[in-house]
Structure 1
Amino acid sequence: MGYTLIYEPNAASKTSVNEFKTLLEKGKDDVKVDTMKKILVTIINGDPLPDLLMHIIRFIMPSKNKELKKLLYFYWEVCPKLDESGKMRHEMILVCNAIQRDLQHPNEYIRGNTLRYLTKLKEPDLLETLVPNVRQCLEHRHAYVRKNAVLALYSIHKVSDHLVPDADELIYRYLYEENDSVCKRNAFICLGDLNRDAALQYIQDNIYLIETLDPLLQLAFIEFIRKDAILNPSLKSEYTQLVTEIIEAASNVVVYEAANTLTSLTTNPQSILLAASKFVDLATTEADNNVKIITLQRINELNKAHPGVLQELSLEILRVLSSQDLDVRKKALDVTLQFVTSRNVEDVVKLLKKELEKTMSSNEDKSAEYRQLLINAIHQLAIQFIEVAANVIDLLLDSISDLNNTAAYEVITFVKEVVEKFPELRQPIISRLIQALPAVKSGKVFRGAFWIIGEYALEESSVLEVWRYIRSSIGEVPIIASERKILEGGNNGDDSEYTNGSTEKSKKGPVVLPDGTYATETALTVDYNQNQENSKTPIRKHILSGDFYLAAVLASTLVKLILRLQRLKVEAKVLNGLKAEALLILVSILRVGESSYVSKKIDEDSADRIFSYIRLLNDEEDVELIQTSFLDDTKDAFKAQIESAEAKKAEVEAKALHKNAEQIDDAISFRQFDKNGGSKTINEDEEAITSGTGVKKEDLSSRLNKILQLTGFSDPIYAEAFVKVHQFDVVLDVLLVNQTTTTLRNLSVEFATLGDLKVVDKPATANIGPHGFHKVQTTVKVTSADTGVIFGNLVYDGQHSDESTIVILNDVHVDIMDYIKPATCSESQFRKMWNEFEWENKITIKSPIETLKQYLEELMKGTNMTCLTPGAVIGEECQFLSANLYSRSSFGEDALANLCIEKQTNGPIIGHVRIRSKGQGLALSLGDRVASISRKTKKTAINAV
């Protein structure tokens, strides 16, 4: 039995019964309306006010005011109808007469409203005299009256069946005479509960017209079938046939419900396929994006429950890609990828290629993100099915110049994986990649491409082909000399600004001529400089702009190519020439990195790497060791990374399969042998949904851990709060105890907040007697995962009216960990967010925790973050640890963290954690959490007390 509490603004200043009587007697209609509302609130909150019944009958019942009449029926619903001895009060005869008059009222809305009230009335003595009038209303000319009359009749029968013994027959006859769809729907629902056989007979009579019936009645049929099939499994085949006919209805709502019901009635592959195809139709035809996502999710669930049945729908689902919403497109791609097999993979890839070509010419806001989704989908298909891999790579490498940096890097990552997994495709892919390099613009993409070429260019022809490209892309070397020549050519041979073989950039600003006037620069000069800039080769342009990470990768690639030629036993003359050329390029990069021709000087790491490569090229003694390190070890490391990722994926798939699989030793459930006699009242699907919501029964003892003391034991009033965190709000249940021997009058609790919190409601004012208890509740809205503080005070009146006492409450800190959940994302997504997020909080760590592994586990546990770095949870012998962590708040805020720590010999763990987020609050809050974890000390054992 549920109950309702209505908010009272001020519980301390209650209106007395006499005041209510006076207001009812002498007030005007608007005053009476306010008074009735106050009376209703008082009754609902527990004070029955029995003395007011006669006054309301005398002064409110005769009124013609529509709002008063509406409130009057609310009052009849909650007012006490029985006296102290449990018998019906005599005044209710007058009420019954008034209800009877309203049931015969010429206004159909008053009649309908009165009939609605009768569904709430549970006293047979009152209902008995009203039955004839309700029967008459079944034949009223207005549908509003008739639809409520059916429900009233059904409700009266449920209260006491002897009042309307023929209710089912009456409703059955009424169904054939009625034309209004809402009335018929109401009547059928009532009939289904009162007389199952009569409801079945009605369905049987309408079976040939079932497709043309009104959608409301069709929905009522479906609901009846779904419930009755559980109680009578023997009829499932007939019901399946019936629902198969209803599923062809014109209404989308009926189609959705019929498809859902069909999947619960049968496991026949044809029926499951029919239901899924209807879901696909809904996803493509319905305009609402939420409907599209829900129906796609239902298809996904069907595929898990019935693997292999829905594979032919893959191309149909991809029609949903015509939607403009990115979430819908993502869901459609995710669902489709699960249906793809070697039979339909080529058709799916063709369709995805067409979509990708469309995005190249599209000007949509989110076309870049959509392109990324398509590339990821094609990537997964190519990794899974070798027959489409080569064809797909050609397409993606052709379009690499049209892609943005992120999408182009995704293509390179994808090529990297395909080249490793399919050795037979390596040679054509490497040749195709070399041809695509001139179209590459991004340094990041160059780095990935060079790594692939360095690892997998295994033939002499490929090595020499890529060498020619690199040589032409770097341009004339030494770089400094050629750049100086270009600048001198641009300055008409005036090299007065160059001294001692170095150059200084000309100062920007106005040039003053000898006559004191400013020099002017013509458009021709500007165009010439612009052309000089544009004429630079791609890799040279990146080096001069300060991308020395690319330069270091290029140097590594050159070393690998030389070592590869050495292993292939290339002619010494050719090898020495290429080695000399490589040394010249590397030295040239180092020199230009220290000069003023570059935007920023070379960093120490890149310089050290390039120096080491120069030494390795000149090393004639440890050739085999160098070859093994450069040509074998890096490839093996990448192979191990791919295998690890595949093992994780296989583990997830195995878990999903195991979850849906039925073990051979599982107990078989016979519904007939169930202790309830096989009777269930809810649909199995609904039960599964209810049980899968994750709502756990609260352990009452756990509440004790969340109780906070707000005032001291010696304060005149003691207060404590139980803090309950919901998804987007915090509820404070405050218990107040009067510790004095006097009544505390007009006591109110006032709360205020700091941070992204907002107090939604103010607790009511109350009077608390000597040593009395009082509970108040307030809700605080949370808008972000930020550290919030709730503070406040208690105020109550003193002995004189102008006195008041204030008790300050202890602060309540909202724990952000209730809003932060572990999450996962790909490495590319992590890097993208890391570059985009502007707020960073760097926390220095000095922790006494014994091992790096323990510290990482404590950090993940304390911050609710997931470790994204594979193999980060390592053995205890390593002294260094670097890992990326990620979590997401309930409000959709992303939190990234990078951990770099070192274990000192016989000392603490030192290092730092960098946290990044879009908003400042989350970064600071997580930083405080990390700092508190680092301060945790070792627990010392107590030897003696």
Structure 2
Amino acid sequence: MEKPCTLLVRFDKGTPALANEILEALERNDDAAKIDAMKKAIMLLLYGDTNPQLFIAIVRCVLPSEDHTVQKLLLLYLEIIEKTDSKGKVFPEMILICQNLRNNLQHPNEYIRGVTLRFLCRLNETEIIEPLIPSILSNLEHRHPFVRRNAVLAVTSLYKLPQGELLLDSAPEIIEKLLSTEQDKSTKRNAFLMLFTCAQDRAINYLFTHVDRINDWGEQLQMVVLELIRKVCRTTNKGEKGKYIKLSISLLNAPSSAVIYECARTLVSLSSAPTAIRAAATTYCQLLLSQGDHNVKLIVLDRLNELTTSNRDIMVEKVTDVLRALSTINEDIRMKIMDIALELITPTNIDEVVMMLKNEVVRIHAHIDDFYKPLLVQTIHSCARKFPEVASTVVHLLMDYLGDENWDLVMDVVVFVREIIETNPKLRVSIVTRLLGTFNQIRATSAMACASALWIIGEYCQSLAEVESGIATIKQCLRGLPFYTPNEEGEGEDTSKSTPLVSSISLENASLPPTLVQGLQSSTENLKSLILTAGLFFEGFFFGVVVAYTLTKLILRLEEVQTSKVKVNKAITQALLIMVSILQLGQSSFYPYPIDNDSRDRIVFCIRLLCNRGGEVRKIWMQSCRQSFVNMLSDEQRREIEEIKAKAQISNAQPDVLIDFYHLKRRKGMSQLELEDEVQDDLKRATGEFTKDTDDENKLNRILQLTGFSDPVYAEAYVTVNRYDIVLEVTVINRTKETLQNLCLELATKGDLELVERPQNYTLTPESSKQIMANIMVSSIETGVIFGNIVYGTPSNVLERTVIVLNDIHIDTMDYIYPASCTAAGFRYLWSLCKWENKVAVNTVIQDEREFLNHILKCTNMKCLTPPSAFDGECGFLAANLYGKTIFGEEAFVNICIEKKADEKLSGFIRIKSKYRGISRSLADKITLKQRGGA
């Protein structure tokens, strides 16, 4: 059994110094040489070399030294060295040390006395400490507080020894007397801590005797008092607990923030009464506003989140206090505040919360914050989704941001407006009117926002005035038709110097006709700029399809509300001119990417529909499209309700419930899939279907072979992946007829893995085996490779060392990923922030799209964010977004786009993105390996 460690010494790995060199340095009269020699002696001792001659030389040469550093190093050396034999008796040489320690305890220098007293705290040998008791007690009255505080610690350590109460039975009484007269705060803290741990009744008596002066005590002593309160209240009856709670509440006025925080934590742990919880919540909110350190704020927010879970009714009153901390300029803090606020929204405080969020939106209107503005919009969106009646107070305010430069913010606003206009019919007229008036303010860089805004215009323009205004808005943004004439082919010029818009997004040497160049230079409309630059992108003409669809819906609705056939035919002619102009532009030869077949077919379909309008097709365009959107919103609400119910069903175990250690051990560090398998195994055990062979088979599946069968030393490892560490149980077998000496398992790691223990040497007899445990800390899943070798020597050839290289151990990334939830807008925003992307081509024998999606979900242990209704029907296409998080908070995003070909095979791509290169690469490798399914 390893001994407890009381000393940590850092030293660089290398060849330790020789004992002869240390002896020569110790015999010099130079203190600097002795200091260096003592450091080398300590290192040599840590390497395991216990040289008796070296100890005698240290006693002879170092004990007389008056140098403080030399004496400190001597105490460190004495702390490490073995002081007893195998029978537990103290070595005779240690008696020589007792006189030196007594001299140090009576030394005129307070530093020597203090470090010696601190050294005595780490000794467990009664034979050494007993002669020093009078000197230790005399230091309790020393003039310097440094000596007194360490003397109290020495008395405490002495009293805790197995025979300490017999050696110093009056220690509690002596310390209590010292505590009543002591003025130094650190010494008082040590003295009270001694009474707290060794004579609890005396500590309680002293506490309530001086309870009126508790606010004047120092921070250190007040922290010990709170620790005493928590310990006492675990065993005391409920009748006496009230006075301790009252005492804790009185400490909430302490000047120290640390004491205030501990008071609040103590109140929560002692009582569930509304008064105590309310006082703790108020204290946390005050700390959240007063503390400037971001780490402190994050810790306080975690405590507030715990109170939200256990005492939501009380925390509802504090939601405005929590929101006041939004002034902090930190993304993580703001996100936590928003999450807590959303959990505490009720019908009684929703108006106040929305008002504060509106004020925050107005406050940062002129600020450039690419993260905070979308976060505010998403929070307001969630509030409006829970309480639709507040939508009218915020929707018009948020629509002011449609012209913002941050395209993520604009997209969030459009998504918010799109949902509100469907769920709040009373706001449709005002929203459509406002959107038509501000549509031209949406920048051309926000293409998806423009497309979503066009969809809203096409779906929710109902009255004659709204329909005509929608058509007029699109015509105004696309004025100057046609975009160019065919005889301008080949007359292009380099537009990279003509317009900033094209120069920033076009390919080099791209030439456009003069008409288009002039149109781009003079165009300030978003629609025209997006259409004119569509051919500079792959599949860029999708936006032209959106324009065609919107015009088609508006024309179909115009036929229902407009009685004049002349005006209807005029609007149809203008819409057809726009669509034909887009087709003509897309089929030109000067674009690097002409219009794709899919976009062309869609626009042609719109032209045919306007020329020959049928009743069944009209029903699809006017009703089915919106119904699909309504179904999508219903699916999102249903999923949110299911998640809330799932969280509510999670029951916490009661304190008196027995712990099944077998299950605790078996399930530590398992992934979700392994947990499900383990549950099935437990059911089999309960019914008698599970046998030992099945258990052994599960364990064999997780054993990795490290060496070959023909190697003289065979090694295999059983890998257990826990949350933050990896345990390797390496079995090493000596397959030779010789004894292997100094066999060492040398491991190394790549990436964010760290080996905890240093390798040890072992001796293996012929054909024997040894199990070696190795712990590896994990700080990230960016990389996970463990490699190394086995080194050993033989008696026949002592000078040479044999090295066997081990196979690499690749840690499965899936063991650290769990499913997580995210909104569609949040997924798009986080996707845009990720810089590391991997693209995997679909190569599988699976022929069903949904089966392939479920297979990828099972392999990656991620959650599908795309609603199930999106997969209804048979269309031959499937697109889905997957989202997951690691146990370290790192995010992973996957987008699957597949198509079923005529030969029934699936083709497409899987895109993986993350902020961390290793996660993206590991997921790509995993999907590449597992996507074939049954192959």
Cα shift readout 1:756-783 (whole Å, capped 9, x = no counterpart): 8899998577876766767596969887
Contact 2:746 2:790 in 1 (8 A): yes
1:505 paired to 2:509? no
Using the alignment, how far apart are the partners of 2:353 and 2:520 within structure 1? 46
1:300 paired to 2:305? yes
1:230 paired to 2:246? no
Contact 2:714 2:734 in 1 (8 A): yes
Q: Return the offset for 1:411.
A: 0.4
Q: Return the offset for 1:451.
A: 1.0
In structure 2, relative to structure 1, the CA distance for the partners of 1:476 and 1:742 (3 Å cut) is closer
Please name the residue that 2:556 is paired with: 563
| Gap regions ≥5 residues in structure 2 | 498-513, 535-539, 659-663, 679-694
Name which of 308, 311, 321 aligns with 1:316: 321
In structure 2, relative to structure 1, the CA distance for the partners of 1:358 and 1:451 (3 Å cut) is same
**3-state SS in 2 of match to 1:898:** strand
**3-state SS in 2 of match to 1:914:** strand
Using the alignment, how far apart are the partners of 1:257 and 1:119 within structure 2? 28
Cα shift readout 1:785-832 (whole Å, capped 9, x = no counterpart): 247473657475896788665544434444444455544433334434
Contact 2:105 2:136 in 1 (8 A): yes
Please name the residue that 2:618 is paired with: 627
Using the alignment, how far apart are the partners of 1:803 and 1:2 within structure 2? 31
Q: Return the offset for 1:39.
A: 6.2
Cα shift readout 1:337-395 (whole Å, capped 9, x = no counterpart): 323333333333333223223323225xxx12111111111222222233431221111
Contact 1:11 1:766 in 2 (8 A): no
Contact 1:887 1:895 in 2 (8 A): yes
Please name the residue that 1:881 is paired with: 878
Please name the residue that 2:293 is paired with: 288
In structure 2, relative to structure 1, the CA distance for the partners of 1:768 and 1:137 (3 Å cut) is same
What residue identity is the alignment partner of 1:474?
Answer: L
Please name the residue that 2:584 is paired with: 591
Q: TM-score if structure 1 supplies the norm length?
A: 0.82
Please name the residue that 2:387 is paired with: 385
What residue identity is the alignment partner of 1:443?
Answer: A
Q: Return the offset for 1:644.
A: 1.4
Using the alignment, how far apart are the partners of 2:144 and 2:45 within structure 1? 35
Q: Return the offset for 1:261.
A: 0.7
Q: Return the offset for 1:739.
A: 4.3
What residue identity is the alignment partner of 1:295?
Answer: V
In structure 2, relative to structure 1, the CA distance for the partners of 1:385 and 1:721 (3 Å cut) is closer
| Gap regions ≥5 residues in structure 1 | 485-497, 511-525, 676-689, 939-945
Higher mean displacement: 209-218 or 565-574:
565-574
Higher mean displacement: 792-801 or 429-438:
792-801
Name which of 539, 545, 550 aligns with 1:552: 545
**3-state SS in 1 of match to 2:297:** helix
1:709 paired to 2:716? no
Please name the residue that 2:119 is paired with: 117
Using the alignment, how far apart are the partners of 1:299 and 1:893 within structure 2? 23
- For residues 613-652 of structure 1, the aligned pairs below 5 Å read 613-620=606-613, 622-623=614-615, 625-652=616-643
Please name the residue that 2:221 is paired with: 217
- For residues 395-414 of structure 1, the aligned pairs below 5 Å read 395-414=397-416
Name which of 338, 343, 365 aligns with 1:338: 343
What residue identity is the alignment partner of 2:299?
Answer: I
Q: How many residues align?
A: 878
Name which of 348, 352, 355 aligns with 1:347: 352
Contact 2:635 2:869 in 1 (8 A): no
- For residues 159-558 of structure 1, the aligned pairs below 5 Å read 159=161, 160-234=164-238, 235-363=240-368, 367-441=369-443, 442-477=446-481, 479-480=482-483, 483=484, 499=487, 504-506=491-493, 533-535=521-523, 537-546=525-534, 547-558=540-551
Using the alignment, how far apart are the partners of 1:357 and 1:893 within structure 2? 32
Please name the residue that 2:682 is paired with: none
In structure 2, relative to structure 1, the CA distance for the partners of 1:428 and 1:605 (3 Å cut) is same
In structure 2, relative to structure 1, the CA distance for the partners of 1:306 and 1:781 (3 Å cut) is closer
Contact 2:882 2:893 in 1 (8 A): yes
**3-state SS in 2 of match to 1:244:** helix
Using the alignment, how far apart are the partners of 1:67 and 1:99 within structure 2? 16
Using the alignment, how far apart are the partners of 1:696 and 1:415 within structure 2? 43
Contact 1:786 1:921 in 2 (8 A): yes
Using the alignment, how far apart are the partners of 2:85 and 2:832 within structure 1? 74
Using the alignment, how far apart are the partners of 2:106 and 2:532 within structure 1? 94
Q: Return the offset for 1:156.
A: 1.6
What residue identity is the alignment partner of 1:237?
Answer: G
Contact 1:11 1:765 in 2 (8 A): no
What residue identity is the alignment partner of 1:607?
Answer: R
Contact 1:8 1:41 in 2 (8 A): no
In structure 2, relative to structure 1, the CA distance for the partners of 1:563 and 1:258 (3 Å cut) is same
What residue identity is the alignment partner of 1:454?
Answer: G
Contact 1:730 1:782 in 2 (8 A): no
- For residues 839-858 of structure 1, the aligned pairs below 5 Å read 840-849=837-846, 851-858=848-855
Contact 1:738 1:770 in 2 (8 A): yes
Q: Over aligned residue pairs, what C-alpha RMSD do you find? A: 4.4
Q: Return the offset for 1:403.
A: 4.4
**3-state SS in 1 of match to 2:168:** coil
In structure 2, relative to structure 1, the CA distance for the partners of 1:476 and 1:20 (3 Å cut) is closer
What residue identity is the alignment partner of 1:170?
Answer: I
Higher mean displacement: 844-853 or 749-758:
749-758
Higher mean displacement: 65-74 or 252-261:
65-74
Using the alignment, how far apart are the partners of 1:374 and 1:83 within structure 2? 69
Q: Which structure's relative contact order is higher, taking Cα pairs within 8 Å and 6+ residues apart?
A: 1
What residue identity is the alignment partner of 1:608?
Answer: D
Name which of 138, 141, 145 aligns with 2:140: 138
Contact 2:464 2:562 in 1 (8 A): no
In structure 2, relative to structure 1, the CA distance for the partners of 1:544 and 1:52 (3 Å cut) is closer
Contact 1:12 1:745 in 2 (8 A): no
Higher mean displacement: 106-115 or 407-416:
106-115
Structure with bigger gyration radius: 1
Q: Return the offset for 1:242.
A: 1.1
Please name the residue that 1:607 is paired with: 600
